[in-house]
Structure 1
Amino acid sequence: MISETDKTEYIRDELIRIWDSMIADPQAALTDSQKMEQLSREAGFEKGINDSRFYQSWCLIFLSRLKEAVEILNDLAVNFKDQPLSEDNIKILNALGVAYNDLGDNSNAFFYYSRSLQLSREAGLLERELSVLNNMGGYYLSNENYEKALNHFLELLDKAKSSEQSKELLSVVLSNTGQCYFKLGNLDKAEKFFQESRNLAREIHSGINESEILFDLGKLCDKKGLHKEAQSYFEQSLELCRQIDNKRLECEIYLYRGEMLHDLSQFEKALELSKEIDSKQFYMEACKKLSSHYEKTGDFKEAFRYLDDGYNIEKELNSIAAEKKFHNLEMEYEIERNRKNAEFFKTQNIELKESLNWMTLLNNITKETFASLDTNSILTKVFENINLLMEVTHFHVVFHNKKEKTLQIVKAFENGNEIEPFSFTDAPGGSFAGWSIHNRQELLISDIENEYSRYIEKRAVYGKGPLARSSLTVPIFFRNDEVGAIAILSRHKNAYKNEHIHFLKSLASFLSIAIDNSRNFEKVKELNRIILQEKDELEAANKKIMELATHDNLTGLINRRVLYELLEASMEQTRRRGEVLAVLFIDLDDFKPINDTYGHNIGDKVLQKVALKLKNAVRTTDSVARIGGDEFLILLNPVKSKSEARKVSEKILKLMTDDIDIEDYKIHVGMSIGISTYPEENTTAEQLIINADSAMYRIKKGNKNGIGFFEKT
């Protein structure tokens, strides 16, 4: 019987083996780590359970099963939340960043990367720091900030080489550096880094790294016009993807090759794979590619179907609910950070009770602001809450319009009364807000009268009350882009201190997200309106196209093709039921002189009147078609006998005895009618029409304006 100690050692050894084999065969590593989790639970080995689940999350990331990975990592993050900081916490946060980045959720990805990097540096863990820095470089790369990403990777490359990090990390950094050069158009340098990365990947048997590098080399050859070489690299990459079950990259290759080769089947493969790996990003891209393809080929029905599917996924990816989830996570982080800062506040002679009041206030503000998508309501709530804990005689929220180089006060209060919004220059010397935004830092002024000239040229005066004597201004950033500022002012000197700076900076962080939420909501509403309008227009266009394809444009009658299809279907039905059908071929007598005498405009109107008379002469179950010029076809289905077909034809001739009134003219129109019947004439639909035409022609050669049945010669 194995002792608990031996069992624990066995689990540790197995987990080391699993980690080393994970990249080469993530599916096998996933199965093995699940077994280790079960064994750890039986042994009551807590670290074994957590490590096994962590390894499972990485395997799932490599296998593109990202939602499952995020679910496991979130569970682990909750387990470690109340424990002392350790390398495990940092690894979990970094893995969450990778998973969200692959899901296309840039906001969550950057949040977890930043948090992981901060903790790595605080703990002095260089290897963790380098790993996170590589992932953050990938974040910049995926967001098309190529220059920043390149500088990031080149600096990281030097650190990785000097610190003798693992060849696996070095291979990834080399590949990422190559991608930066590729995006910046330096193909020769890109190829050099790709090949060096591939050699390392082969050396360590990293199938995932090598498959991605082969894809990069394929895209590089395609860019150079070396299409045969590109295809070879793509095939090698696909083969590796299938071996290691890397469906995410396989899907990406199909999308790229579909665009390169204009091959519909590649897009269809990508669509199926995206469903299999539950990647909404790839599904959306495949739908867009398919829609574009079908639009070019004129298949508007399919084009619209895929456009609609793609739009629904895109809307889901950008949903307000997803944004709120991110904001709530950031809110929790800020509150947690403030709690940890309680000791700092103590050392600054600030009572713990007061610091908790700040945290509670911040929590209340974030809850109330995220409960609304209306910017005006959000800013009013912020002002009302701030006033509960500090003196604020003036409150301003400023938006930065970079295009017009102005600052707009979108919300302002003075002594509790709201002031009308207004704009002014964004010059750094024009206002405290302008200085704070341009210098990207907070500005605390304890005595405005004596200090303002250090920052601005002329003191601005707002409102009608007493002048403010101290102020605090904090810039508002959203994803590192300065979008505005928040300012509080007091009628007293020295009203604000460091704790107010910390509070206002945290508030600015939340405020930027809430405001962006509101703006995005408005954009989504407008996008929905545009999409629905385009959908209606496309449906109308499709309806018009279908109408043109099946009907005669002049008379509105069906065309020859549609009648032919109806005839074929009716013949089959007639044969089964033992009934009779008749085809009437009608040609107007002496129609050309009408055109010559009265003009084609009058002639067209005559044809329209004739078409109406023909439709009124038959039943709703019968079909009338214009097949060209002055020729018409009528399908009588069913008729009791040939004599009934003659009676209908005589009725039509009788209707035509009266002159047709067109404008000031009275025009007489005669017609010759040829009839064929089925199944008496046991033949094809085409031959039935020919037979009726032949019968009509015989009448035409005689006295015209009459009726004749087809007769076999």
Structure 2
Amino acid sequence: MNEAEVDAANERAWSSCIQTPQSTLEESERTLAAATDLGYARGRSYALLNIGWSLYYLSRLPGAYDSFVAAQRLFEELGDVVGLCRALNALGVYNHFIFRLDKAVDFYTKSLDTAKANGIKDREIVAMGNIGELCLELGNPQEALEYLIPAYDEMPDDFNQGNVADCLRNIGQCFLQMDNLLLAGEFTRKSYELAKRAGETIIAADSLETLATVSIALGELAEAERLVATGLSLAGETGNLSQRASLLIVRGTILNCMGRPGDALVVLLEAAGLCQDINLKSKLFKAHEQLSKSYEYLGDHSKALEYYKRFAIFRAQVQHEDSTKRLRSIQTQTDMESARQEAEIYRLRNIDLKGKTEELEEINSQIVSISRIGRRVTASLDFNTVVQTMYDCLKPFLHMDMFGIALYDGDRNQLVYKRYYEDGERRHEHRINADSESSFAAWAFRNRKPVLIANKDAEYSSYLSKPSTRKGAAAQSVVCMPLAIEGRIIGVMTIQNHEANAYAPKNLSFIEALAPYVGIAVENAIIHDRLEILNKALSDEKRSLERATLKISHLANHDTLTGLPNRRLLFELMAKSVESARRTGGRIGVVFIDLDDFKPINDRFGHAAGDSALVAMSDRLRGLVRASDIVARIGGDEFVAVITNVKTRESIEMVARKVLDECSKPLSFSGKSCLVGMSMGISVFPDDGEAIEDLVNRADAAMYGVKHVNKNAYAFSSDSAPLVRRPD
């Protein structure tokens, strides 16, 4: 392979690395080896760049980074500005993907500046598109459009179609974040069609994911599922794991919305596994959120809680990293401002030095304050505490006659101030319709933009069709700051003052810098509340299960009519009594009882009367023995009484006599009385045996002996002949 062939191979790889990253990687590695053998540095630099992109699209990020850095160094040594722009852009994309947004914007800006300085229009357009995508990632879709639309307008007809499609897709994403589903669908559909024609498979799959999200928002779930299926097929062609994971999460969301949580589980577990394998935390927490919903729909509150906790943990990590980056970005801007101030000071030779120094000190002081307030407000998991903490922290900086944080209630389409402060007094529950035409907070929420009003009477018409109708003293100065999480507006922070001109643009900037922290704190409070709900549901489910278990256990061990222990529980309780008697040397009396002439009661008075008789006799038996004794029903009209912890046979006989005396008293049915007698057989532990079954059988046999001789009497099983005893 000569130098011309190396260049041709690099051109082919540059065009194919997105569609076929694996085969492009193999070809570029061969090209790199050939260029190295030739000592051809330019060929090596472009081969390294292509290797980096192939590894990136295969989600092998560490190798991609090393290749991009090596390519950048070679391009700098060679003075190849086109290659350098490409390498800087690649490093920006890499840092963008791993959420190092401060570094991403640095590389994108260097690529843009280099392209502008050298008149490389195509690289300038690409860099503008990337900066727009970064603004989109930071939740600023309006600012993103300020880069993306000019970039799209400047793209010539022969511009790389993949870049055109990607720009259109990002414009669609901006409109999606702004809840403009019509334009989101229109631009994204153009992106998909263009990417499909150009063979840009990865961009086409990304566009399908966005279109599916639009369809979900429109309630067109079948169409959303079809789009995701097509996207997954394309992702399978490229082998892009991060794209597959993202599409699987969307599919899981669709299945949950369709009421198919079982199918969603399978899909989402695969997505979570992929995210873990490639360390894709920005998607992993979304998979866990949907998994929690799937388990909740299936009634498995334990698993729902487990995955919601995982969601909260990874969400917090991503938020923390995002907050750190935002603060670093603010610090970077301050450093740049400091440098400009120093240059200005040098140029003017100390003119206005004092004023500029004070301004710089104020900026630095605000940075410290933002960091301190951010740490305080995100330390709480209770929403009311978040509101109070923010109010207390802002009081030294701003005079506020009203302060509150409203959360969006999607079910009612309202902004709800659960807690707010007015004239220093804490108040509760104020609601505003989100589509209100007389509320600055509603305007900020709908338009995803902050509001700064210096004189409400003079300026309200710029925002509202009619003046505010809120009761109380009229506020002339107003700041409303929308609170966003992952591109979603979750609420609005509102500050008001009765006086005009109370707040300036610098106050708005201060509030805007704090807004991400407040958004995180509010989201954490919402997550905490949901965890509490899941915990309660799990506890309720556990208690319900325990109650059901107890009920089942009771039904399994007790007679349903009388509530007495049944045969199964009788034998368990007797086993414990026998074991106790063995230890203490005591005796146990087993009294087998059969009601005499019970059938005529059923025949004469009916089965309901018969049941009443059984209940009445069981109540009498329970009332005639001690709490430590046992009374069980083991058959239709058969009972067993176990007299525990006695010393002599006479003690047992005394109980038997008492039972016969009391139970011989007549029962009343429908105003008529009826006598119910009983025949009883008695065995004694350990005199008549030690096995429980034997003792019951002996007592049963003695009872039948009584039946044959006479009724309404008792006999001991140890008697040589049935010695029948009747009550005195």
- Asked whether the two chains share a fold, i.e. TM above 0.5, the reply is yes
Q: Quote the residue 1:544 is aligned against.
A: 551
Q: Quote the residue 2:620 is aligned against.
A: 609
Q: Is the 8 A contact 1:581 1:637 kept in 2?
A: yes
Against the structure 1 CA distance between its residues 413 and 325, is the aligned structure 2 distance closer, same or farther, given a 3 Å change threshold? farther
* Matching of residues 89-168 of structure 1 within 5 Å: 90-91=93-94, 93-94=96-97, 114-115=137-138, 154-161=189-196, 164-165=199-200, 167=201
* Matching of residues 117-266 of structure 1 within 5 Å: 154-161=189-196, 164-165=199-200, 167=201, 170=204, 194=229, 198=233, 248=270
Against the structure 1 CA distance between its residues 364 and 567, is the aligned structure 2 distance closer, same or farther, given a 3 Å change threshold? closer
Letter of the structure 1 residue corresponding to residue 270 of structure 2: R
Letter of the structure 1 residue corresponding to residue 306 of structure 2: I
Residues of 2 paired with 1:396 and 1:514: CA distance? 16
Pick aligned residue for 1:484 from 492, 502, 518: 492
Length-normalised TM-score, structure 1: 0.56
Against the structure 1 CA distance between its residues 188 and 562, is the aligned structure 2 distance closer, same or farther, given a 3 Å change threshold? same
Q: Quote the residue 1:358 is aligned against.
A: 366
CA positional deviation for 1:451: 3.5
Q: Is the 8 A contact 1:392 1:490 kept in 2?
A: no
Residues of 2 paired with 1:154 and 1:328: CA distance? 35
Q: Is the 8 A contact 2:595 2:679 kept in 1?
A: yes
Pick aligned residue for 1:654 from 657, 660, 680: 657
Against the structure 1 CA distance between its residues 310 and 346, is the aligned structure 2 distance closer, same or farther, given a 3 Å change threshold? same
The Cα offsets for residues 445-499 of structure 1, whole Å up to 9 and x where unpaired, read as 44555444544544779877xx8765544334455235234235484649513x4
* Matching of residues 347-386 of structure 1 within 5 Å: 351-373=359-381, 375=383, 377-386=385-394
Q: Quote the residue 1:269 is aligned against.
A: none
Residues of 2 paired with 1:550 and 1:529: CA distance? 31
The Cα offsets for residues 315-374 of structure 1, whole Å up to 9 and x where unpaired, read as 62465x666545433432322222233346987997433322222222222122223345
> Are 2:355 and 1:333 aligned?
no
> What's the secondary structure of 1:514's corresponding residue?
helix
> What's the secondary structure of 2:399's corresponding residue?
coil
> Are 2:411 and 1:411 aligned?
no
Q: Quote the residue 1:501 is aligned against.
A: 508
Q: Is the 8 A contact 2:444 2:482 kept in 1?
A: yes
Residues of 1 paired with 2:191 and 2:238: CA distance? 21
Residues of 2 paired with 1:215 and 1:445: CA distance? 42
CA positional deviation for 1:655: 3.1
Against the structure 1 CA distance between its residues 571 and 485, is the aligned structure 2 distance closer, same or farther, given a 3 Å change threshold? closer
Residues of 1 paired with 2:248 and 2:407: CA distance? 45
Q: Quote the residue 2:438 is aligned against.
A: 430
Pick aligned residue for 2:303 from 310, 326, 350: 310
> What's the secondary structure of 1:654's corresponding residue?
helix
Letter of the structure 2 residue corresponding to residue 114 of structure 1: E
CA positional deviation for 1:559: 0.8
Residues of 2 paired with 1:431 and 1:583: CA distance? 83
> What's the secondary structure of 1:545's corresponding residue?
helix
* Matching of residues 24-35 of structure 1 within 5 Å: none
Letter of the structure 2 residue corresponding to residue 331 of structure 1: S
> Are 2:643 and 1:632 aligned?
no
Letter of the structure 2 residue corresponding to residue 329 of structure 1: E
The Cα offsets for residues 416-445 of structure 1, whole Å up to 9 and x where unpaired, read as x55867958657553444444444323334
Residues of 1 paired with 2:457 and 2:140: CA distance? 42
CA positional deviation for 1:677: 10
Against the structure 1 CA distance between its residues 284 and 21, is the aligned structure 2 distance closer, same or farther, given a 3 Å change threshold? same
Q: Is the 8 A contact 1:91 1:116 kept in 2?
A: no
Residues of 2 paired with 1:139 and 1:678: CA distance? 88
Q: Is the 8 A contact 2:58 2:239 kept in 1?
A: no
Against the structure 1 CA distance between its residues 162 and 361, is the aligned structure 2 distance closer, same or farther, given a 3 Å change threshold? farther
Residues of 2 paired with 1:329 and 1:421: CA distance? 33
CA positional deviation for 1:700: 1.7
CA positional deviation for 1:384: 4.9
Residues of 2 paired with 1:419 and 1:362: CA distance? 24
Identity across the alignment (%):
20
The Cα offsets for residues 123-151 of structure 1, whole Å up to 9 and x where unpaired, read as 9999799899999999999xx99999976
Residues of 2 paired with 1:452 and 1:210: CA distance? 48
CA positional deviation for 1:631: 0.2
> What's the secondary structure of 1:656's corresponding residue?
helix
Letter of the structure 2 residue corresponding to residue 588 of structure 1: L
Question: Bigger radius of gyration, 1 or 2?
Answer: 2
Letter of the structure 2 residue corresponding to residue 557 of structure 1: L
Residues of 1 paired with 2:448 and 2:617: CA distance? 79
The Cα offsets for residues 37-56 of structure 1, whole Å up to 9 and x where unpaired, read as xxxxxxxxxx99xx99x989
CA positional deviation for 1:648: 8.2
Q: Is the 8 A contact 2:57 2:240 kept in 1?
A: no
In the comparison of the two structures, how many residue pairs are matched? Answer: 558
* Matching of residues 416-565 of structure 1 within 5 Å: 417-418=424-425, 429-448=437-456, 450-456=458-464, 457-458=466-467, 471-478=478-485, 479-481=487-489, 483-489=491-497, 491=499, 493=501, 496-497=504-505, 499-522=506-529, 524-525=531-532, 528-529=535-536, 531-563=538-570
Against the structure 1 CA distance between its residues 161 and 508, is the aligned structure 2 distance closer, same or farther, given a 3 Å change threshold? same
Residues of 1 paired with 2:457 and 2:339: CA distance? 32
Letter of the structure 2 residue corresponding to residue 359 of structure 1: I
CA positional deviation for 1:649: 7.0
CA positional deviation for 1:586: 2.8
> What's the secondary structure of 2:449's corresponding residue?
coil
Against the structure 1 CA distance between its residues 151 and 550, is the aligned structure 2 distance closer, same or farther, given a 3 Å change threshold? farther
Against the structure 1 CA distance between its residues 173 and 325, is the aligned structure 2 distance closer, same or farther, given a 3 Å change threshold? closer
CA positional deviation for 1:313: 1.3
Consecutive unaligned residues of structure 2, counting only runs of 5 or more, are: 1-12, 26-47, 66-86, 101-132, 152-159, 275-286, 345-355, 582-586, 721-728
Against the structure 1 CA distance between its residues 89 and 607, is the aligned structure 2 distance closer, same or farther, given a 3 Å change threshold? same
CA positional deviation for 1:555: 4.4
Residues of 1 paired with 2:595 and 2:380: CA distance? 72
Q: Quote the residue 1:263 is aligned against.
A: none
The Cα offsets for residues 592-639 of structure 1, whole Å up to 9 and x where unpaired, read as 5677689754552222222454667xx86xx65311332024679999
